[in-house]
């Protein structure tokens, strides 16, 4: 058995997220497993670096799978791109050691949340940006973003209430950049909880709109109550940019 | 009657081009006229700076129309954006002198043709770029592009065979830039014939692939035979970027 690692791009708009479902859900993982199982003539399981929610996009999702095949990684990539729908693509494929696991070996991830800060629609990016026409206080958002970085218990920033797993994560940086009438929030960390990036974005946007105070972040982290944090920013603005290993 | 000038963005993918048709065609002009006629309670005609073909996009198409209304240009823009489909938007509106005509007064236009020069698909731009995985000789394409600039009879570069109108135009510049794995052809001129930008792009791509000689352009312009020029590059790669006035 050979272990193949692939880097994937997808537009999440018409999918119910990464993770396959028991029912007839339209998922990225489901599409990939069906395709590879056909290629190999037997069931193939695909592991991803993590789930992306329904509607979330990826520029650099990483997955791996064990298969028996004579094909080179490049041939596997070409085969997959030949059969995948136009909103999913393999942009890199390589053979990796047997023990490599795209989720367990992931050391860090980068997510980008794109906000269109204008009341004029942007036609070409309309599936990838969330429109917030309100004036946004960049300095206040940056102060709040800095306070959200570090190693903390982020349970106020997840929708997953009953997990017994640790909700401690390390966020290395939250960069907020204005590019024309777009504001890009770039999150780097060792891992993110369910909905964490979108709730952090919603909270930062509320700070930017002066609906909450930038100095409140420490308290939010300490109290750990989901209802005290901001709204869940819509999925369409979020893209998984990169997964880091080693 | 007030004369309103608007700047429009649209994704051409699902339209049969700018110009309204007698039948039940799905066109940009048709959409705008139907919407404004409804707003005004009587028939409104919309003039555009020029037609764009089926599938061609616009970042800065200009149109104007004469209407009787109490609304400010900003209110007209908001009304239009409230009812237009998500792939058409008004990004600017202003009142202009009675005599302004978006086509007759246009002094120049800028078009951009985007080529993805890679065999790896680019998911997010897939509706806006034409994929050409072949190696392309940038220097040869630039030599040919320079030879195509100037004031010439461009009848070899139009699909419109039987027009009695002049086929002389001035192309000010053709800039060819590589941005990552994308090559952008930017055409500036006083006006372009039917299919002219797409046939010039097809011809330049054939030069880039060494299927024809860069030094052939002068001869092509002189002979003026459509069949001697290159292929018609697909509509999806083309965007009308700007229309200039004054």
pLDDT, tens digit, for every residue of A216-244? Answer: 999 999 999 999 999 999 999 999 999 99
pLDDT for A31 beyond 80:
yes
Q: What is the mean pLDDT of residues A159-173?
A: 89
User: Which CATH number applies to A2-96?
Assistant: 3.30.70.580
Of B56, B197, B185, the closest CA to residue B116 belongs to B185
Of B11, B123, B126, the CB nearest to A123: B11
Architecture of the domain spanning A106-245? 2-Layer Sandwich (3.30)
Assess A91–B contact: CB distance below 8 Å, yes or no: yes
- pLDDT tens readout for residues A48-102: 999 999 999 999 999 999 999 999 999 999 999 999 999 999 999 999 999 999 9
Do A2-96 and A106-245 have matching folds? yes
Residue A32 is classified by DSSP as H
Min Cα distance A47 → chain B (Å) is 21
Q: What was the ipTM of the complex prediction? A: 0.77
- pLDDT tens readout for residues B175-231: 999 999 999 999 999 999 999 999 999 999 999 999 999 999 999 999 999 999 999
Of A193, A182, A92, the closest CA to residue A128 belongs to A182
Domain range summary for chain A, segments of one domain joined by +: 2-96, 106-245
How high is the pLDDT of residue A246? 87
- pLDDT tens readout for residues B159-181: 987 778 899 999 999 999 999 99
- pLDDT tens readout for residues B124-138: 999 999 999 999 999
- Quick one: how many helices (H) and strands (E) in chain B? 5, 10
Residues 6+ apart with CB under 8 A from A185: A112, A113, A114, A115, A145, A174, A175, A176, A201, A204
Assess A86–B contact: CB distance below 8 Å, yes or no: yes
Assess A126–B contact: CB distance below 8 Å, yes or no: yes
Contacts of B10 in chain A (CB under 8 A): 123
How high is the pLDDT of residue A119? 85
Q: Which of A9, A59, A123 to mutate to test the interface with B (most CBs of B within 10 A)?
A: A123
CA-to-CA distance for A219 and A221, rounded, in angstroms?
Answer: 5
Residues in chain A: 246
Min Cα distance A80 → chain B (Å) is 11
Assess B59–A contact: CB distance below 8 Å, yes or no: yes
Active site residue A87: no
- pLDDT tens readout for residues B44-75: 999 999 999 999 999 999 999 999 999 999 99
How high is the pLDDT of residue B24? 67
Min Cα distance A18 → chain B (Å) is 16
CA-to-CA distance for A37 and A58, rounded, in angstroms?
Answer: 23
CA-to-CA distance for B49 and A90, rounded, in angstroms?
Answer: 41
Assess A187–B contact: CB distance below 8 Å, yes or no: no
SS3 of chain A: helix, strand, coil, percent, to 5: 30, 30, 40
- B108-244 CATH choice from 3.40.50.360, 3.10.180.10, 3.30.2030.30, 3.30.70.660: 3.30.70.660
């Amino acid at each position: 058995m050979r272990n193949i690692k692939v880097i994937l791009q997808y537009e999440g708009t018409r999918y119910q997220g990464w993770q396959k479902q028991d029912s007839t859900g339209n998922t990225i993982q489901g599409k990939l497993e069906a395709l590879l199982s056909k290629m190999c003539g037997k069931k193939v399981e695909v592991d991803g670096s993590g789930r992306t929610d329904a509607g979330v996009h990826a520029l650099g999702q990483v997955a791996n799978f064990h298969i028996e095949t004579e094909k080179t990684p490049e041939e596997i990539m070409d085969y997959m791109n030949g059969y995948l729908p136009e909103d999913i693509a393999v942009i890199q494929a390589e053979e990796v050691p047997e023990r490599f696991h795209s989720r367990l070996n992931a050391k860090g991830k980068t997510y980008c949340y794109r906000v269109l800060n204008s009341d004029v629609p942007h036609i070409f990016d309309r599936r990838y940006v969330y429109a917030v026409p309100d004036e946004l206080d960049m300095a206040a958002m940056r102060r709040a973003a800095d306070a959200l970085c570090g190693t903390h218990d982020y349970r106020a920033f997840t929708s997953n209430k009953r997990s017994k797993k640790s909700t401690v994560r390390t966020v290395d940086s939250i960069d907020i950049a204005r590019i024309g009438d777009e504001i890009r929030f770039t999150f780097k960390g060792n891992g993110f909880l369910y909905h964490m990036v979108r709730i952090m974005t919603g909270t930062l946007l509320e700070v930017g709109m002066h609906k909450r105070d930038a100095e409140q972040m420490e308290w939010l982290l300490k109290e750990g109550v989901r209802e005290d944090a901001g709204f869940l920013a819509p999925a369409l603005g979020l893209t998984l940019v990169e997964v880091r290993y080693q």
